[in-house]
Amino acid sequence: MKNVNFDRIIRNGQVTTSTSIAVGDVGIISGKIAAIGDLSHDSAAEIIDATNLLVMPGVIDTQVHFREPGLEHKEDLESGSRAALMGGVTGILEMPNTNPTTTTREALEDKLNRAAGRAWCHYGFFVGASTDNVSELRELESLPGTPGIKIFMGSSTGTLLVGKDEELREVLLAGNKRCPIHAEDEPRNTERKSLISANPHAREHPFLRDAESARLATERILRLSHETGRPVHILHISTALEPPMIAEAKRQGLGTTAEVTPQHLFFNAPDCYDRLGTLAQMNPPIRSQEHREGLWKALSEGVFDVFGSDHAPHTLEEKALPYPKSPSGMPGVQTMLSVLLTFVHQGRLDLQTMIKMACETPADLYGMQGKGRLEVGYDADIVLVDQHRTQVFERSMVESKSGWSPYEGESLTGWVEHVILGGELAVRSGERVGKPAGQMLNFWSPLRHSDGGER
């Protein structure tokens, strides 16, 4: 048998995908996965010993807020992507609620220019639907560097808030790609602000932005999706009320998909608000144990398609403002994989399901070329993990410019050892190496579904 000379060989790791687990080797040539199996007779410029390590595709986080431009005191593209890389995330999709908002070709190109040479992981940027740019959305969703159009039904301001049915219908008709949705009912949220107590505390957050707000918005957008034929992706599901509706939409063949965050599975009210105060405040809120159990049930039933961090950092000074002046959002891109691996360690989440939802399906949903899989011919974006290492996450480990994490003090099992990005080592033994090497993600058009077909 002819000896192959690879650029790198990952040797003797537990090579894991959503369909297989086997001890073996991965050979890399020119930034691509060139071979998987027994490569013991082959040579390479560099051998990476993966004995006792999990070898998996890089995580793709399809919902992050890196705050640049306009809010760089909280986060920027360099610091946010650095946090991502250190957490085993090799690709991110960033949201449009920056300042200025990403609602024009010029704003998208500005973000792409800012990321070039500064991003530590691969990147794409959503364009935001607004009440001003509907006539341009079909063109905007097809531009290089964007997976498509994001819709805020709640928890946004100005023209990014698209809350009325007639506005939503118009946006959904203006394009073809799957639309991610922040589904909260803004009229209900506004109305319930008057119910705040005389001495407000963050524990009131899930009462003021209640489960009915999420249910109403999800019900509305699914009805409009059915009416217009536009598939939607419901972000950060937080209630036990929404999964049955999403499951029914899937049975109807609407192309509906949904995300759940690690924090909605990890924390519950009122405990997290008693312990963390406004640090636990996000939209939609962390809710009661009853809702958390509903999310776990839906996860076990296959209702959710992807995990997303909804990484949305604010400074500690901003978070210290008295509720409700305190902003909603928390960091999470760096900790997402370790939290999910902790669920695997606890027996609550199947490892192969985790890889499917954190790596493979995110790439499929948005048609990312060459990403999300440990397969020959795919890009060599690979993470090597010590599944068995348990460590307390401490503030000193935080890479985000915000400087804090809701998981501080939590014991997590499953930590990143090495990250390979585009065939090159970017993290070695838990330490960053080299320079930022993230590249713009490329997206298929028309959108290719996970079954390989086209819509």
Quickly tell me which residue has 């049930």 as its tokens: 297
The residue count for the chain: 455
Flag whether the pTM goes above 0.75.
Answer: yes
Q: Which of 115-129, 139-153, 436-450 shows the lowest per-residue confidence on average (mean pLDDT)?
A: 436-450
Q: Enumerate the active-site residues.
A: 310
Q: How confident is the model at residue 159 (pLDDT cuts 50, 70, 90)?
A: confident
Q: Find, among 244, 323, 344, the residue nearest to 280 by Cα.
A: 323
C-alpha R_g of the chain:
21
Which 3 state secondary structure label does DSSP give 32? strand
Tokens of 236: 């950060």
pLDDT of residue 157: 66
Ramachandran area for residue 302 (φ above 0: left; ψ -120 to 50: alpha; else beta): left
CB-based contact 246:237 (threshold 8 Å): yes
Q: Residue 425: is its pLDDT beyond 50?
A: yes
d(Cα 225, Cα 350) in Å, to the nearest integer? 31
Q: Residue 208: is its pLDDT beyond 90?
A: yes
pLDDT of residue 6: 98
Q: Residue 156: is its pLDDT beyond 80?
A: no
Domains along the chain with CATH numbers: 5-55+376-389+410-432 (2.30.40.10), 59-365 (3.20.20.140)
Which run of H or of E encompasses 223?
helix 211-228
Q: Residue 2: is its pLDDT beyond 60?
A: yes
As beta bridge partners, residue 444 has none
Beta strands in 176-326 (DSSP E): 179-182, 232-234, 257-260, 306-307
More confident residue, 449 or 5: 5
d(Cα 101, Cα 98) in Å, to the nearest integer? 5
* Mean pLDDT, rounded, of the chain: 96
Q: Which is it for strands 122-125 and 89-94: parallel, antiparallel or unpaired? A: parallel
Q: Find, among 97, 108, 94, the residue nearest to 144 by Cα.
A: 108
pLDDT of residue 3: 85
Q: Find, among 18, 50, 36, the residue nearest to 386 by Cα.
A: 50
As beta bridge partners, residue 54 has 14, 385
| Phi then psi dihedrals of residue 245, to 5 deg | -70, -40
